[in-house]
Every structure is written in structure tokens, then in C-alpha cells.
Chains A and B, each alone.
Chain A
Amino acid sequence: MLKQRIADAFDEPGCAANRAKSEVDRKRGCSPRSLVPGAAAGGCAFDGAKIALQPITDAAHLVHGPIACEGNGWDSRHAATSGPELYRTGLTTDMSELDIIHGGEKRLYRAIREVAGRHRPAAIFVYVTCVPSLIGDDVETVCDAAAERFGLPVIPVDAPGFVGSKNLGNKLAGQVLLDRVVGTREPARTTPFDINIIGEYNVAGEMWQILPLLERLGLRVLASITGDARYHEVACAHRARVNMVVCSQAMVSFARAMEDRYGIPYFEGSFYGISDTSAALREMARLLVERGAPATLIPHTEALIAEEEPVAWRRIAPYRERLRGKRVLLYTGGVKSWSVVSALQDVGMTVIGTSVRKSTEDDKERIKGLMGEDAALYGQIPAKDLYRMLAAGEADILMSGGRTQFVALKTKTPWLDINQERHHAYAGYDGMVALVRQIDAAIHHSVWRQVRRRAPWDGDRDGDGR
């Protein structure tokens, strides 16, 4: 089996570009971002696929592979649920050496049977990781057989880590939904106000900051893909009138495919920041009306915005003075950075640099537009450089993910979590107020004066000891 795969691998990427490469280059394959051994960071495709699908809360998420993939990774994110807890359960075949020698298919089949029997999930997603992929486990056939036998959808997610980055995994997950889930069920009813929200994972419950706004407009989220989703809703997603893609370059291709297949128009928007939230609501209303919703939706939306915006601004006002001119370094791969940049500028802060690791060219142009031509756009900032910038006091706060948290803290620089692991919700009008409050609390925290003090034995007690 492995031999065959080796042979295939030599033949396969048959593009001219690949054949022209040296042997070493060819071994690296055509992965979108070629990874440098010894200088790489970031999750694998499996990680990305699971991030995108796991928020389907009534499904079981079974990871086929040895212990590293699930044993080290489960239960680490805060995609919130309003009901089922099953999605949180860590499920893995935990392949042993014998499974690898003899193939893991039998064990996988038994695992699916156990999960189906014990947890009665709405569906089972089966994630293929590197080892079963390498030894050639035919996961698709196992899943199909199991689906037939146990009478529930069993969906293979073929995104083993070694095919590429987390972003690629997001994309592959979108493809799985398109091929295997969306359009397989029909909703009991539809309305002219049905929308899908794509690429929003309800981290820290952010969906719940948006839903009340949509409800007030009479809009119904037919499927959230996939924050706090139920399997059935995702399966019915093809009946929505409009798709909104939130903060996710990877899921744009998913929305595009839905447009091709089901004629559902989509737009890209963001719920970070006051103006972006309003813009998203406006665009949603416009497209729905275009697709047959009553024209009154538009004035309704304007009325809601006219009511909400001043309230949010009023709540933010006390902080503006305190935050004016404070310098933010934004380092994130998760959310669309332009949206956060404009939100921060709205309250008078200066964004001294932002990462554009996962941004498209369009996004980069937008950021340049916002921050000016000589904006510092970063790819990956090596920890050493990040430390230097922060130690030199170039930023008043770092907003980033947990991975760089401790680099910031060791320089005694305020830090705010804005990635997958965050505990606070920052979406919509309320979310923006919460974000500003958190930034203010971080920057003006009394702890900084304490921890920056010099030790009694270092003399000059009141000096800036950072």
C-alpha cells in the first residue's frame, strides 16, 4: 500500500512547474505556503478542518489516528453551545502499532459503531489524520458502510495534517459540507428572511451578540456555519436567500460554490466594530430585498442602526479620551484584521502594525487604505522581534492569540486575547463596547505599576523596570 503511494507521489504532481523543481523542492510538494523546517508555526489541515466543523454541536467528531492529534488537541476552544454538548467530547481511535501494521479500518468501523450506539449523534464526522492517510486506510468506504448499517450520516473529512495549513483545512471542511451535507435535507418551512452566516464559530458566544439584532429585523438564521449549529440546519442551508461570510477568507470559496450551485448571493462582512456591524446589516437587508423580501426591511434596518449606533457610541465615549493615541499591535490570524483595525481607529487608537498572514490581496489593500501606505503589515513576526518591539515600548498593548501571550507578558506589556481561545465576546454593538472596555482595563491596569517597579536591591525604585 505504502509503496504504491510512494510511486504515486513521484508521478502525481504532474504539473510542469513541479517537474522543473529540484528533488528537494519537489518533496515539499505544492502546499500553498511552503513550510520551513525549524522555523514553522501554526496548525495543520486537520486542525483547520476540525475548527470549522466541530461547532456543529449535535454531531460526534471522531478523530481517526494515533493519540497526538486528538489527545493533545481536544477541549481547547471556546466555541459555545446553546444545547447539545456532544461536540465537546473527545473521540479518537487512538491507533496502536498493530492498527498501523494491519490497517486501521476495522478499528474505525467499530469506533463508529460505538459512537453511534452510545451517543446517538445527529451525524458523525470522521477526521482522517496523517498516519491513516499514509498507510492508505480507506476511510470513505468505511464511513459509507457504517452510514448504511447504522442509519445516520457518517462523513469522512479527508484533511490529514501533512497536506497543508490550518487555512487549507478550513477550505477542505467547506468542501466536505458542500459535497456531503448541504442540500441533503429540506427545512420544514422557509421564509424570505432566511440567511446563512458562514465562518462564524460562536467563539465565546459571539453569535449570541448578533442573533438578537437579526431577530429584531425579523431575519432568521437558517444555518449558522458552523457556530452553535445543528446538523439538520446545515443540511438545509441551501434554502437560504442570502449568505454572509464572516471574517473568513477560507470560507469564501464555500459561499461562491453555494452561489453557483443554489443561486444564493453572498457578501463578505464583519461584526467587529460599530460601522462594520451596521454595514453588514445594511448589506444583508439590501440583498434580501433584492431576493424578494419586502422593501420595508430596508427602513427597518436603518431604524435599528439609528437606534443602536448612538447608544454604542455613548457607552464608548468615556473611554475615548483614555484611549486616544494609544498604540496597538494587532497580531492575529483568526479575524479579518481590517475590520478590527477600523474598529480600533473608530475609538481613536493608533494601530502601529497588523498581521496579514491570512489576508487576501484585497484585504491588504483595504488595510493600507485604513492605515496609510507605510502601515506595518506583518507576515509571521518571529518571537524574538516581537519581544524586541514590545520591550522597546513600541506598543501600548498587544492583541493576539495565546501563543504570543507570554512573549508580551514577559516584557510587561498589556495583552488582550482575540483568538480562538478568547473568553470574551466582541461582536456587534455590544461586543465593541465590551472590546473597548477590555482594552481600557488592560492598558490602565494597576498591575503594570507594580510589576514594572525595580526590585529594592536594584536602586531607583520608581524607575520603569521593563
Chain B
Amino acid sequence: MSIVEVGTKACAVNPLKTSPALGGALAFLGIERSLPLLHGSQGCTAFALVLLVRHFREAIPLQTTAMSELSTILGGADNVEQAIGNIYERAKPRLIGLCSTALTETRDEDVRGDLRALMVRHPEWRDLSVVYAPTPDFAGSLEVGWASAVQAMIDALVEDGRRMPVRGLVNLLPASYMTPGDVEAIRDVVESFGLSPIVLPDLSRSLDGHVPETYVPTTLGGTPVEQVARMGASQLTLAIGEHMRGAAEALERRSGVPFKVFDRLTGLEAFDGFVETLMEVSGRPAPARLRRERSRLVDAMLDGHFFFTGRTAAVAAEPDLLVAVSRFLDEMGCRTVAAVTTMKTPAAVAVPCESVVVGDLDDLACLVPPGECDLVIANAHGEAAAAAIGAPLHRMGFPVFDRLGTAHRVSVGYRGTRELLFEIGNLLIDHQPDHRPYLRRDREVSIDAETVNA
């Protein structure tokens, strides 16, 4: 249990945060034939785009309403209309995910109202869904924007009203920090119980680095809008990370689908809970393959715990990733001595560290008592902090632009936990504390050596 403190600095130094609008856009990228659109000036889109491209090493569809100074002041409805019109003409997407930015939120536009009017005025956009997610930059970080976009999709796309639950149908709401590889791993496990998950959003089918046969101006792969519409017919919603609770609740309100929030899927005990739930919903025993994976994880933990024991880590991550990582480290015997996150959330108190600071990567370096940290876990920006601390950096979170295969790394489930354990364990093995040699002065020396040294 920890106390969450908000830093008092006026200036963020080496920010840990990225913008909520980026998180919103990322969520929309997990829908088939979708195209996220940031409602703001073109620069906001350009920065977000460059960062997404660097992280995923993929071409990313992302557009801007290209607000100028004047259109900002006078109101952006025209720009939204033109942007949708142009995108519709050019790319024929099934979904446009409109994310606000600080700029348009400061102006306090009634985007929802404007959108309604627009859709009435343009009957030709019948086969297009436009979903609006408020993602102002001044409130929160990527995680918040992701959650906001998922909730917005539920509100806008899921068919109204209660329906007879379809046997075997479940909803999966992945956490913002889950890689395409993570999502795929969890979906496989869910399916191995004979369940059919609707994954909202599903990056494992859109940002998994496949090489398509032709050029597609929208996302290629991801969950179809029509499937999202059917989420109300599921037996249960599985939400990963505290930040997905709001979206799960929204779905329950809308269609009466009960939900379970799992604070994390990393770690043996944590994933056991998830598996128990799957056993309950499906009424089936765990498949042999999963049992074997669990057993392998147990073995890895037995082999690995020596190298974690007594070691210390500094972790900077968004709240729910911070919870997942620091609790896993704790279970392996590695203490988190410094924890930094992006905002105050109820989840962060679960971090096993005396205090969690809402701050930046510079805070992380300052929080570590000198010489008392064996490992740093942060996004790729954490390099400077790791250098200052003098410990190796294990990259997690967003962005990670200086590693290959970021999208395919798995750190959830039995298998993913084992992989994470190996990666971190090997770093710790590489950086064992030095043995301090004791130099004896009373050692017998041969006369020859003495004369040579003289």
C-alpha cells in the first residue's frame, strides 16, 4: 500500500506523460477500417503520428481537423465537417474516431451537438460511424484517453437495450498498455475455453505488423464495428486494468452485461484469478496446454527468484502498468524503491512502495537513494534517468522507439509473465552487485616479486 503524492514542481522535466488524444487515437486504431481524427491544430496530429510510427514501426492512419488560430476562436464545426467529408471521400472508412485536444476543449466547443447536426445534414454518410471521445491534453495521459475512447465507442456503437446473452460470447477490454502481442495472448487463452471474445479495441489484428497486399488508407484489421454493436449480447465483460472500469460500467448500464475488472494479468496469482473466471463462464476445465504453461511459469519462478531477491527497482509508468509491474516484482522478491506515475488514481495505492509520486522521469532519478537501485523500468525516455541512477533500463510502456519488436512483447498471462521474468531476471544477472575485494596487507610475498615491484 502506498501514499500517492502529487509533485509540486511547476516544470515537468523529461515528461513521462504522453497526451490523452494520442491514447484515444490508439484505441480507435483497434477497430477495423477506422481512421482516428484529432480535433486540433495540425501539429498535435504530427507529433502524435511521429511517436506512434516510431513505436509501432508501422504506417499509422491519423488525421487532423487542421484548426488555425481563427477557426479555433470562431469555432471548429466547419473544420470537423470538412475533415470528415474529405476523409470519407478519400479513405471510405467505416469509423472515424474524433478526439479532442486541449485547444478545442479550451474553446469549450459543443462537438457532440455539432456532430449530431452534421450527421443529419449528410445522409450520404450513412455507412460511416463517427465517434467522439473527449481527450483534452490538460487532464491525464495516454491511459485516460484510451479509456475515454473505449467508453465513447460503447456509448455510440453498442446496440441499445438488454438482450438475451449469447452463450460463450464475452467482451474483453484490454488495458492501454497491452501490446498487440499481449492482446493476442489473452484472446488465445479466452478462446481456448471455447469462448468467443469481442475485443475492444483489438490492436493484435491491426498493429501487429503484417504486410498487406495493397495500400489501405484506414486500419486494416481490428474489431469490426458490427461486432462492437453486439457487445450487449455477451455473458460477461472482462476489463483489464482499473482504468477500464468506467467503460465496463457504461456497458453494464447500457445492456446489463455484468463485468469483472482485473487489476492486472501479470503474475501467477493475478492470472489464476482470470483463469478461474474463464472456467466459471465457460463451464469448462482449463485446457491441458494452459496447465502446462502455468507449470512452466511456476518452474521459472522457482529458478528465477534467487536473482530478484533483495534487489531493488525504480519504476515509472502509467498507474495500471505501474501496479502490474511493481506487484510482480514484489512477488519475485524485488523491492520497488521509487515509483512515479502520471496521475492520481485509486489504482496507484496498490503499488507496493512507500509512496508513489505523480511526476516525471526526472523525479524518478531524484527519488532513488544513491546506489540503491539495481533496475529501472520506464519507457524509452527513461534512458537519461537510468544513466543518472546507474542501473540498466528495462523498457515498458509507451513510447518504446529504440527496440525491435515492441508490439510483440508479451508480459501478461502465464507465458507472458514467464517471458517478463526472464528478461528482467537476465538484466539483474548481468548487473550483479560487485564483490568488493578485501586487499590483504599481511599476505606472504616472495622476495623476487618484491624486488621486481620496487
| Chain A residue with the shortest CB-CB distance to B56 | A406
Instruction: Count residues on chain B whose CB falls below 8 Å from chain A CBs.
Output: 70
A118 to B14, CA, bound (A): 14
* 0/1 interface trace, chain B 43-67, chain A, CB 8 Å (1 if under): 1111111110110011100011111
Query: Contact between B53 and A29 (Cβ–Cβ < 8 Å)?
Result: no
Query: Contact between A100 and B73 (Cβ–Cβ < 8 Å)?
Result: no
* Complex interface: chain B residues within 8 A of A99 (CB): 138
* 0/1 interface trace, chain A 103-133, chain B, CB 8 Å (1 if under): 0000111111111001000000000001101
| Chain A residue with the shortest CB-CB distance to B96 | A38
* Complex interface: chain A residues within 8 A of B65 (CB): 37-38
* Option from A107, A131, A387 in Cβ contact (under 8 Å) with B106: A131
Known: A68-B102, A97-B139. A39 touches B86 (CB 8 A): yes
* Complex interface: chain B residues within 8 A of A164 (CB): 68
* 0/1 interface trace, chain B 73-112, chain A, CB 8 Å (1 if under): 1100011101111110010000000000111001100000
Most buried by B among A44, A66, A91, A118: A66
* 0/1 interface trace, chain B 1-31, chain A, CB 8 Å (1 if under): 0000000011111110111011000000000
Known: A71-B18, A114-B11, A383-B59. A28 touches B47 (CB 8 A): no
Tell me if A226 is interfacial: C-beta within 8 Å of chain B.
no
* Option from B10, B70, B78, B215 in Cβ contact (under 8 Å) with A110: B10
Instruction: Count residues on chain A whose CB falls below 8 Å from chain B CBs.
Output: 83
Query: Contact between B78 and A24 (Cβ–Cβ < 8 Å)?
Result: yes
* Option from B37, B106, B137 in Cβ contact (under 8 Å) with A68: B137
A163 to B51, CA, bound (A): 22
Query: Contact between A162 and B69 (Cβ–Cβ < 8 Å)?
Result: yes
Known: A9-B69, A67-B18. A383 touches B103 (CB 8 A): no
Known: A43-B47, A95-B138, A134-B106. A35 touches B66 (CB 8 A): yes
Query: Contact between A134 and B103 (Cβ–Cβ < 8 Å)?
Result: yes
Known: A9-B74, A94-B12, A403-B50. A40 touches B42 (CB 8 A): yes
Query: Contact between B69 and A131 (Cβ–Cβ < 8 Å)?
Result: no
* Complex interface: chain B residues within 8 A of A412 (CB): 211
* Option from A27, A90, A92 in Cβ contact (under 8 Å) with B68: A27
* Complex interface: chain B residues within 8 A of A24 (CB): 78
Known: A76-B54, A107-B10, A383-B215. A66 touches B102 (CB 8 A): yes
Interface residues of A in 280-329 (CB under 8 A from B): none
Most buried by A among B74, B78, B102: B102
Query: Contact between A93 and B48 (Cβ–Cβ < 8 Å)?
Result: no
Tell me if A228 is interfacial: C-beta within 8 Å of chain B.
no
Which 9 residue pairs of A and B lie closest in terms of their CB atoms, listed nearest first? Answer: A44-B43, A38-B83, A38-B86, A110-B10, A387-B215, A111-B11, A161-B43, A37-B83, A66-B137
Further pairs besides A66-B102, A72-B50: 7, Cβ < 8 Å: A37-B64, A43-B43, A74-B14, A91-B13, A113-B10, A131-B106, A410-B211
**B-to-A contact residues, CB < 8 Å:** 9-15, 17-19, 21-22, 37, 40-51, 53-54, 57-59, 63-74, 78-80, 82-87, 90, 101-103, 106-107, 136-139, 141, 211-212, 214-215, 217, 362, 381, 384
> 5 A-B Cβ contacts within 8 A?
A68-B44, A69-B47, A130-B40, A135-B106, A162-B103
